[in-house]
Protein backbone atom coordinates (compact mmCIF):
# COMPACT_ATOMS: atom_id res chain seq x y z
CA UNK A 1 0.00 0.00 0.00
CA UNK A 2 1.38 3.42 -0.96
CA UNK A 3 1.58 6.08 1.74
CA UNK A 4 0.45 9.49 0.53
CA UNK A 5 1.76 12.62 2.23
CA UNK A 6 -1.26 14.45 3.68
CA UNK A 7 -0.04 17.72 2.19
CA UNK A 8 -0.46 16.34 -1.35
CA UNK A 9 -4.20 15.98 -0.75
CA UNK A 10 -4.73 19.63 0.09
CA UNK A 11 -6.62 21.91 -2.28
CA UNK A 12 -4.99 25.15 -3.37
CA UNK A 13 -6.98 27.11 -0.77
CA UNK A 14 -6.15 24.63 1.97
CA UNK A 15 -2.47 24.73 1.04
CA UNK A 16 -2.48 28.52 1.12
CA UNK A 17 -4.08 28.55 4.57
CA UNK A 18 -1.73 25.83 5.82
CA UNK A 19 1.32 27.80 4.67
CA UNK A 20 0.05 30.94 6.39
CA UNK A 21 -0.51 29.05 9.64
CA UNK A 22 2.99 27.60 9.46
CA UNK A 23 4.47 31.05 8.83
CA UNK A 24 2.52 32.54 11.74
CA UNK A 25 3.66 29.85 14.18
CA UNK A 26 7.29 30.07 13.04
CA UNK A 27 7.48 33.87 13.11
CA UNK A 28 5.49 34.32 16.33
CA UNK A 29 5.75 31.20 18.56
CA UNK A 30 2.74 31.31 20.91
CA UNK A 31 4.83 30.52 23.99
CA UNK A 32 7.11 33.50 23.33
CA UNK A 33 4.55 36.03 22.03
CA UNK A 34 2.00 38.03 24.00
CA UNK A 35 -1.61 37.29 23.12
CA UNK A 36 -2.51 40.63 21.54
CA UNK A 37 0.54 40.56 19.26
CA UNK A 38 -0.10 36.97 18.18
CA UNK A 39 -3.77 37.61 17.46
CA UNK A 40 -2.89 40.78 15.55
CA UNK A 41 -0.53 38.80 13.33
CA UNK A 42 -3.21 36.15 12.87
CA UNK A 43 -5.61 38.89 11.76
CA UNK A 44 -3.08 40.41 9.36
CA UNK A 45 -2.59 37.03 7.64
CA UNK A 46 -6.32 36.64 7.06
CA UNK A 47 -6.65 33.83 9.59
CA UNK A 48 -9.00 35.59 12.01
CA UNK A 49 -12.27 35.06 10.14
CA UNK A 50 -11.08 33.26 6.99
CA UNK A 51 -14.34 33.91 5.10
CA UNK A 52 -14.09 37.69 5.61
CA UNK A 53 -12.67 39.77 2.73
CA UNK A 54 -8.91 40.22 2.46
CA UNK A 55 -7.76 43.15 4.54
CA UNK A 56 -10.54 42.59 7.07
CA UNK A 57 -9.02 39.62 8.86
CA UNK A 58 -9.94 37.11 6.19
CA UNK A 59 -9.02 35.65 2.82
CA UNK A 60 -12.45 35.46 1.20
CA UNK A 61 -12.39 31.65 1.44
CA UNK A 62 -14.94 29.03 2.47
CA UNK A 63 -15.69 29.35 6.22
CA UNK A 64 -15.14 25.61 6.72
CA UNK A 65 -11.38 26.28 6.51
CA UNK A 66 -11.61 28.09 9.86
CA UNK A 67 -11.79 24.74 11.60
CA UNK A 68 -8.37 23.75 10.25
CA UNK A 69 -6.96 27.07 11.43
CA UNK A 70 -8.44 26.78 14.90
CA UNK A 71 -7.33 23.18 15.40
CA UNK A 72 -3.72 23.83 14.41
CA UNK A 73 -3.43 26.99 16.46
CA UNK A 74 -5.06 25.38 19.49
CA UNK A 75 -2.66 22.43 19.27
CA UNK A 76 0.25 24.91 19.23
CA UNK A 77 -1.01 26.65 22.37
CA UNK A 78 -2.10 29.87 20.64
CA UNK A 79 -4.43 32.33 22.42
CA UNK A 80 -8.16 32.03 21.73
CA UNK A 81 -9.84 35.20 20.45
CA UNK A 82 -13.28 33.91 21.39
CA UNK A 83 -12.36 33.66 25.08
CA UNK A 84 -10.89 37.16 25.12
CA UNK A 85 -13.85 38.83 23.41
CA UNK A 86 -16.73 36.37 22.86
CA UNK A 87 -19.43 38.86 21.87
CA UNK A 88 -17.11 40.80 19.59
CA UNK A 89 -15.60 37.74 17.93
CA UNK A 90 -18.74 35.68 17.48
CA UNK A 91 -21.38 38.33 16.80
CA UNK A 92 -20.19 41.91 16.34
CA UNK A 93 -17.34 41.11 13.95
CA UNK A 94 -19.60 39.43 11.37
CA UNK A 95 -22.07 42.31 11.73
CA UNK A 96 -19.46 45.05 11.22
CA UNK A 97 -17.95 43.32 8.19
CA UNK A 98 -21.39 42.87 6.63
CA UNK A 99 -22.91 46.27 7.38
CA UNK A 100 -20.06 48.59 8.31
CA UNK A 101 -18.42 51.23 6.16
CA UNK A 102 -14.83 50.81 5.02
CA UNK A 103 -13.75 53.19 7.78
CA UNK A 104 -15.63 51.19 10.41
CA UNK A 105 -14.15 47.89 9.26
CA UNK A 106 -10.65 49.38 9.20
CA UNK A 107 -11.10 50.94 12.65
CA UNK A 108 -12.87 48.20 14.59
CA UNK A 109 -12.13 44.69 13.36
CA UNK A 110 -8.45 44.26 14.28
CA UNK A 111 -8.61 45.47 17.93
CA UNK A 112 -11.88 43.55 18.26
CA UNK A 113 -10.16 40.32 17.25
CA UNK A 114 -7.09 40.90 19.42
CA UNK A 115 -9.27 41.58 22.45
CA UNK A 116 -7.77 45.02 22.97
CA UNK A 117 -11.27 46.44 22.56
CA UNK A 118 -14.10 44.37 24.04
CA UNK A 119 -17.59 44.63 22.52
CA UNK A 120 -21.11 44.07 23.78
CA UNK A 121 -24.50 43.65 22.12
CA UNK A 122 -27.31 46.01 23.19
CA UNK A 123 -30.55 44.40 22.00
CA UNK A 124 -32.85 43.13 24.78
CA UNK A 125 -34.97 45.53 26.81
CA UNK A 126 -37.11 45.10 29.94
CA UNK A 127 -40.30 45.27 27.86
CA UNK A 128 -39.11 43.42 24.75
CA UNK A 129 -36.91 40.39 25.24
CA UNK A 130 -38.01 37.70 22.83
CA UNK A 131 -39.99 40.31 20.86
CA UNK A 132 -36.84 42.18 19.87
CA UNK A 133 -38.61 44.16 17.13
CA UNK A 134 -40.88 45.67 19.81
CA UNK A 135 -38.02 47.60 21.46
CA UNK A 136 -38.72 51.15 22.61
CA UNK A 137 -35.29 52.82 22.99
CA UNK A 138 -35.26 55.80 20.68
CA UNK A 139 -32.92 57.56 18.30
CA UNK A 140 -33.79 61.06 17.08
CA UNK A 141 -31.80 62.79 14.35
CA UNK A 142 -30.17 66.10 15.26
CA UNK A 143 -28.11 67.33 12.32
CA UNK A 144 -25.37 64.80 11.66
CA UNK A 145 -25.93 63.12 15.05
CA UNK A 146 -28.57 60.87 16.58
CA UNK A 147 -29.69 61.41 20.18
CA UNK A 148 -30.41 58.04 21.82
CA UNK A 149 -32.41 57.35 24.99
CA UNK A 150 -33.52 54.11 26.58
CA UNK A 151 -32.58 51.07 28.61
CA UNK A 152 -31.05 47.75 27.60
CA UNK A 153 -30.81 44.65 29.78
CA UNK A 154 -28.94 41.32 30.03
CA UNK A 155 -25.95 42.91 28.29
CA UNK A 156 -23.04 40.50 28.63
CA UNK A 157 -19.67 42.08 29.54
CA UNK A 158 -20.96 45.65 29.16
CA UNK A 159 -18.79 46.54 32.17
CA UNK A 160 -15.65 45.72 30.18
CA UNK A 161 -16.74 46.95 26.76
CA UNK A 162 -15.17 49.75 24.76
CA UNK A 163 -17.83 49.60 22.04
CA UNK A 164 -21.39 48.34 21.79
CA UNK A 165 -23.71 47.29 18.98
CA UNK A 166 -26.88 49.29 19.66
CA UNK A 167 -30.29 49.08 17.96
CA UNK A 168 -32.86 51.82 18.62
CA UNK A 169 -36.17 52.91 17.16
CA UNK A 170 -35.76 55.83 14.78
CA UNK A 171 -39.19 55.77 13.11
CA UNK A 172 -42.11 55.07 15.48
CA UNK A 173 -44.63 55.56 12.66
CA UNK A 174 -43.26 52.59 10.70
CA UNK A 175 -44.23 48.98 11.41
CA UNK A 176 -42.11 47.66 14.25
CA UNK A 177 -39.60 45.71 12.13
CA UNK A 178 -39.05 48.62 9.74
CA UNK A 179 -38.41 51.48 12.15
CA UNK A 180 -35.12 50.27 13.68
CA UNK A 181 -31.57 51.51 13.11
CA UNK A 182 -28.23 50.08 14.29
CA UNK A 183 -25.23 52.04 15.56
CA UNK A 184 -21.81 51.52 17.07
CA UNK A 185 -21.90 53.28 20.44
CA UNK A 186 -19.02 54.41 22.65
CA UNK A 187 -19.53 52.56 25.95
CA UNK A 188 -17.21 55.02 27.71
CA UNK A 189 -19.38 58.03 26.84
CA UNK A 190 -20.38 59.74 30.13
CA UNK A 191 -24.07 59.55 29.13
CA UNK A 192 -23.89 55.71 29.09
CA UNK A 193 -24.45 54.11 32.50
CA UNK A 194 -23.71 50.43 33.13
CA UNK A 195 -25.18 48.72 36.22
CA UNK A 196 -24.42 45.12 37.23
CA UNK A 197 -27.11 42.43 37.31
CA UNK A 198 -26.14 39.83 39.87
CA UNK A 199 -26.93 36.30 38.76
CA UNK A 200 -27.66 33.23 40.84
CA UNK A 201 -24.03 32.19 40.32
CA UNK A 202 -23.04 35.19 42.44
CA UNK A 203 -21.38 36.83 39.45
CA UNK A 204 -22.48 39.89 37.50
CA UNK A 205 -21.60 38.87 33.96
CA UNK A 206 -24.80 40.55 32.74
CA UNK A 207 -25.65 44.23 33.03
CA UNK A 208 -28.37 46.77 32.43
CA UNK A 209 -27.34 49.81 30.40
CA UNK A 210 -28.98 53.23 30.35
CA UNK A 211 -28.65 55.82 27.58
CA UNK A 212 -29.51 59.42 28.45
CA UNK A 213 -29.29 61.85 25.52
CA UNK A 214 -26.37 59.85 24.13
CA UNK A 215 -25.15 61.44 20.90
CA UNK A 216 -23.92 59.14 18.14
CA UNK A 217 -22.51 60.52 14.91
CA UNK A 218 -24.22 59.28 11.75
CA UNK A 219 -20.89 57.84 10.57
CA UNK A 220 -21.33 55.19 13.28
CA UNK A 221 -24.55 53.90 11.74
CA UNK A 222 -24.45 50.32 10.44
CA UNK A 223 -26.31 50.26 7.16
CA UNK A 224 -28.94 52.94 6.62
CA UNK A 225 -31.85 54.27 8.69
CA UNK A 226 -34.42 51.50 8.97
CA UNK A 227 -31.91 48.68 8.39
CA UNK A 228 -31.72 47.81 12.10
CA UNK A 229 -33.86 44.67 11.84
CA UNK A 230 -31.75 43.20 9.04
CA UNK A 231 -28.55 44.18 10.84
CA UNK A 232 -29.80 42.46 13.99
CA UNK A 233 -30.59 39.27 12.07
CA UNK A 234 -26.94 39.10 10.99
CA UNK A 235 -25.93 39.42 14.64
CA UNK A 236 -28.47 36.93 15.96
CA UNK A 237 -27.78 34.23 13.36
CA UNK A 238 -24.07 34.45 14.11
CA UNK A 239 -24.81 34.47 17.84
CA UNK A 240 -26.68 31.18 17.57
CA UNK A 241 -23.84 29.58 15.65
CA UNK A 242 -21.39 30.99 18.20
CA UNK A 243 -23.34 29.57 21.16
CA UNK A 244 -24.46 26.23 19.72
CA UNK A 245 -22.08 25.60 16.84
CA UNK A 246 -18.77 25.09 18.61
CA UNK A 247 -16.89 21.92 17.67
CA UNK A 248 -14.81 20.62 20.57
CA UNK A 249 -12.54 17.60 20.25
CA UNK A 250 -14.25 14.25 20.79
CA UNK A 251 -15.06 13.78 24.46
CA UNK A 252 -14.15 17.36 25.40
CA UNK A 253 -16.29 20.40 26.06
CA UNK A 254 -19.30 20.17 28.34
CA UNK A 255 -19.41 16.37 28.25
CA UNK A 256 -15.91 16.11 29.75
CA UNK A 257 -17.34 17.41 33.05
CA UNK A 258 -19.68 14.42 33.11
CA UNK A 259 -17.03 11.81 32.34
CA UNK A 260 -14.83 13.37 35.05
CA UNK A 261 -17.69 13.25 37.54
CA UNK A 262 -18.30 9.59 36.68
CA UNK A 263 -14.65 8.72 37.19
CA UNK A 264 -14.61 10.43 40.60
CA UNK A 265 -18.03 9.26 41.84
CA UNK A 266 -18.35 6.85 44.71
CA UNK A 267 -19.18 3.24 43.87
CA UNK A 268 -22.60 3.60 45.50
CA UNK A 269 -23.51 6.17 42.83
CA UNK A 270 -22.29 4.12 39.86
CA UNK A 271 -25.44 2.11 39.29
CA UNK A 272 -26.40 0.48 36.03
CA UNK A 273 -29.16 3.05 35.55
CA UNK A 274 -26.69 5.89 36.13
CA UNK A 275 -24.30 4.42 33.56
CA UNK A 276 -27.13 4.24 31.03
CA UNK A 277 -27.87 7.93 31.58
CA UNK A 278 -24.20 8.91 31.26
CA UNK A 279 -23.78 6.96 28.04
CA UNK A 280 -26.99 8.41 26.62
CA UNK A 281 -25.77 11.95 27.31
CA UNK A 282 -22.32 11.16 25.90
CA UNK A 283 -23.94 9.82 22.71
CA UNK A 284 -26.12 12.91 22.36
CA UNK A 285 -23.11 15.17 22.83
CA UNK A 286 -21.23 13.28 20.13
CA UNK A 287 -24.21 13.46 17.76
CA UNK A 288 -24.38 17.23 18.35
CA UNK A 289 -20.64 17.55 17.73
CA UNK A 290 -20.81 15.61 14.46
CA UNK A 291 -23.90 17.54 13.37
CA UNK A 292 -22.05 20.82 13.93
CA UNK A 293 -19.11 19.51 11.90
CA UNK A 294 -21.44 18.70 9.02
CA UNK A 295 -23.14 22.08 9.33
CA UNK A 296 -19.80 23.93 9.26
CA UNK A 297 -18.69 21.93 6.21
CA UNK A 298 -21.90 22.81 4.38
CA UNK A 299 -21.85 26.46 5.35
CA UNK A 300 -21.59 28.91 2.49
CA UNK A 301 -20.35 32.48 2.38
CA UNK A 302 -22.56 35.14 3.95
CA UNK A 303 -24.88 35.03 6.94
CA UNK A 304 -25.56 31.65 8.59
CA UNK A 305 -28.98 30.27 7.79
CA UNK A 306 -31.76 29.34 10.23
CA UNK A 307 -30.26 25.87 10.61
CA UNK A 308 -27.83 27.48 13.06
CA UNK A 309 -30.75 27.48 15.48
CA UNK A 310 -30.65 23.65 15.57
CA UNK A 311 -27.29 23.49 17.32
CA UNK A 312 -28.17 26.34 19.64
CA UNK A 313 -31.45 24.77 20.78
CA UNK A 314 -29.97 21.29 21.13
CA UNK A 315 -26.99 22.58 23.11
CA UNK A 316 -29.21 24.51 25.53
CA UNK A 317 -31.18 21.42 26.56
CA UNK A 318 -28.21 19.07 26.49
CA UNK A 319 -25.97 21.28 28.63
CA UNK A 320 -28.60 21.52 31.35
CA UNK A 321 -29.11 17.75 31.41
CA UNK A 322 -25.36 17.10 31.48
CA UNK A 323 -24.84 19.24 34.56
CA UNK A 324 -27.93 17.87 36.27
CA UNK A 325 -26.30 14.44 36.02
CA UNK A 326 -22.95 15.84 37.16
CA UNK A 327 -24.69 17.10 40.32
CA UNK A 328 -26.24 13.66 40.87
CA UNK A 329 -22.83 11.99 40.63
CA UNK A 330 -21.27 14.46 43.06
CA UNK A 331 -23.74 13.47 45.73
CA UNK A 332 -23.79 15.76 48.78
CA UNK A 333 -20.69 17.58 47.49
CA UNK A 334 -22.92 19.22 44.89
CA UNK A 335 -24.35 21.34 47.71
CA UNK A 336 -20.97 22.88 48.54
CA UNK A 337 -20.96 25.99 46.39
CA UNK A 338 -18.03 27.88 47.88
CA UNK A 339 -17.76 31.67 47.84
CA UNK A 340 -20.82 33.65 46.81
CA UNK A 341 -19.00 36.95 46.56
CA UNK A 342 -20.17 39.11 43.66
CA UNK A 343 -17.56 39.13 40.88
CA UNK A 344 -17.50 41.10 37.64
CA UNK A 345 -16.12 38.39 35.30
CA UNK A 346 -13.44 39.07 32.71
CA UNK A 347 -15.04 36.68 30.22
CA UNK A 348 -18.35 34.95 29.60
CA UNK A 349 -16.66 31.67 28.71
CA UNK A 350 -16.69 28.81 31.22
CA UNK A 351 -17.14 28.36 34.98
CA UNK A 352 -14.50 27.34 37.47
CA UNK A 353 -16.59 24.77 39.40
CA UNK A 354 -19.25 22.21 38.39
CA UNK A 355 -21.68 23.79 40.85
CA UNK A 356 -21.32 27.19 39.23
CA UNK A 357 -21.57 25.67 35.74
CA UNK A 358 -24.79 23.91 36.77
CA UNK A 359 -26.34 27.28 37.60
CA UNK A 360 -24.81 29.14 34.64
CA UNK A 361 -26.13 26.76 31.96
CA UNK A 362 -29.68 27.65 33.03
CA UNK A 363 -29.14 30.74 30.88
CA UNK A 364 -28.38 28.69 27.74
CA UNK A 365 -32.08 28.31 26.95
CA UNK A 366 -32.59 32.10 27.21
CA UNK A 367 -29.50 33.86 25.80
CA UNK A 368 -29.22 34.17 22.04
CA UNK A 369 -32.94 33.57 21.67
CA UNK A 370 -35.11 31.40 23.92
CA UNK A 371 -35.66 27.75 23.09
CA UNK A 372 -39.28 28.63 22.35
CA UNK A 373 -38.16 31.19 19.77
CA UNK A 374 -35.73 28.64 18.31
CA UNK A 375 -38.58 26.16 17.84
CA UNK A 376 -40.61 28.78 16.01
CA UNK A 377 -37.68 29.59 13.71
CA UNK A 378 -37.03 25.93 12.95
CA UNK A 379 -40.71 25.17 12.42
CA UNK A 380 -41.36 28.12 10.13
CA UNK A 381 -38.07 28.65 8.28
CA UNK A 382 -36.63 25.12 8.14
CA UNK A 383 -39.68 22.83 8.16
CA UNK A 384 -42.00 25.26 6.37
CA UNK A 385 -44.82 25.00 8.92
CA UNK A 386 -47.45 27.76 9.16
CA UNK A 387 -46.27 30.73 11.17
CA UNK A 388 -47.65 31.99 14.46
CA UNK A 389 -50.52 34.44 14.32
CA UNK A 390 -49.06 37.96 14.33
CA UNK A 391 -51.66 40.67 14.72
CA UNK A 392 -49.18 43.56 14.79
CA UNK A 393 -47.20 42.84 11.63
CA UNK A 394 -48.78 45.67 9.58
CA UNK A 395 -49.50 48.05 12.46
CA UNK A 396 -47.30 51.13 13.04
CA UNK A 397 -45.26 50.67 16.22
CA UNK A 398 -46.74 53.84 17.72
CA UNK A 399 -50.23 52.25 17.59
CA UNK A 400 -49.33 48.92 19.19
CA UNK A 401 -50.66 48.60 22.79
CA UNK A 402 -47.83 48.31 25.34
CA UNK A 403 -47.57 48.09 29.11
Q: What angle do CA 254, 242, 65 make, to 5 degrees?
A: 100
User: Under a CB-based contact definition with an 8 Å cutoff, are residues 364 and 337 in contact?
Assistant: no
> In this predicted structure, what is the pLDDT of residue 3?
32
pLDDT over threshold 90, residue 403: no
> In this predicted structure, what is the pLDDT of residue 373?
82
Residue of 1 and 215 predicted with greater confidence: 215
pLDDT in tens, 251-271: 888 899 999 999 999 999 999
pLDDT in tens, 89-115: 989 999 999 999 999 999 999 999 999
User: Under a CB-based contact definition with an 8 Å cutoff, are residues 137 and 211 in contact?
Assistant: yes
- The CA distance from 50 to 76, in Å, is 19
**What is the CATH code of the structural domain delimited by 232-382?**
1.20.140.10
pLDDT in tens, 153-187: 999 999 999 999 999 999 999 999 999 999 999 99
Topology given in CATH for the domain delimited by 10-114:
Butyryl-Coa Dehydrogenase, subunit A; domain 1 (1.10.540)
The full set of domain ranges for the chain reads 10-114, 119-226, 232-382
Residue 8: pLDDT band (50, 70, 90) is very low
Residue 392 is given by DSSP the state T
pLDDT in tens, 316-339: 899 999 999 999 999 999 999 888
Can you list the alpha helix ranges (DSSP code H) found in 76-114? 81-84, 86-87, 93-99, 102-114
Q: What is the DSSP track for 114-130?
A: HTSS-EEEE--BTTBSS
Q: Which of 51, 72, 52 is nearest to 62 (CA)?
A: 51
pLDDT over threshold 80, residue 242: no
pLDDT in tens, 288-308: 888 877 776 666 555 566 656
Residue 64: pLDDT band (50, 70, 90) is confident
Residue 303 is given by DSSP the state S
> In this predicted structure, what is the pLDDT of residue 169?
98
pLDDT in tens, 148-159: 999 999 999 999
> In this predicted structure, what is the pLDDT of residue 207?
95
> In this predicted structure, what is the pLDDT of residue 351?
74
Q: Which residues does 156 contact at the CB level (< 8 Å), separation at least 6?
A: 86, 87, 120, 121, 205, 206, 207, 348, 367
- The CA distance from 282 to 175, in Å, is 46
Residue 350: pLDDT band (50, 70, 90) is low
- The CA distance from 174 to 348, in Å, is 36
- The CA distance from 331 to 266, in Å, is 9
**Mean pLDDT along residues 224-233:** 95
Q: What's the chain's average pLDDT?
A: 89
Residue 191: pLDDT band (50, 70, 90) is very high
Catalytic residues: 239
Q: C-alpha dihedral over 302, 78, 87, 63, to 10 degrees? A: 10
Q: What angle do CA 95, 153, 304 make, to 5 degrees?
A: 25
Residue 135 is given by DSSP the state -
Residue 26: pLDDT band (50, 70, 90) is very high
58-67, 334-343, 369-378: segment of lowest average pLDDT: 369-378
> In this predicted structure, what is the pLDDT of residue 299?
60
**Mean pLDDT along residues 18-34:** 97
CATH of 119-226, one of 3.30.70.20, 2.40.40.20, 2.60.120.10, 2.40.110.10: 2.40.110.10
pLDDT over threshold 60, residue 5: no
Query: Percent of the chain scored above 90 by pLDDT?
Result: 64
Amino acid sequence: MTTIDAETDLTADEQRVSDLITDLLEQFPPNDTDAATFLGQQFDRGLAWVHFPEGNGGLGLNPKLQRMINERLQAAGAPNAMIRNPIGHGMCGPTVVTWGSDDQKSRYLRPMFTGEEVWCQLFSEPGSGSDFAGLSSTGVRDGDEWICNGQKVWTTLAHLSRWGLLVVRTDPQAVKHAGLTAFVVDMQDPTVEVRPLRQMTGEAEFNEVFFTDTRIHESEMLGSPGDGWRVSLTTLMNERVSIGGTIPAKGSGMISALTKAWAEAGDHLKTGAALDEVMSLWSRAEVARLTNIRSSQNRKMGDPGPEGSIGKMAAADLNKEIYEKVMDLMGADALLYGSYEMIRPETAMGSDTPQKAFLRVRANSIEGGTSEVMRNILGERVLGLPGDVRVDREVPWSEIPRN
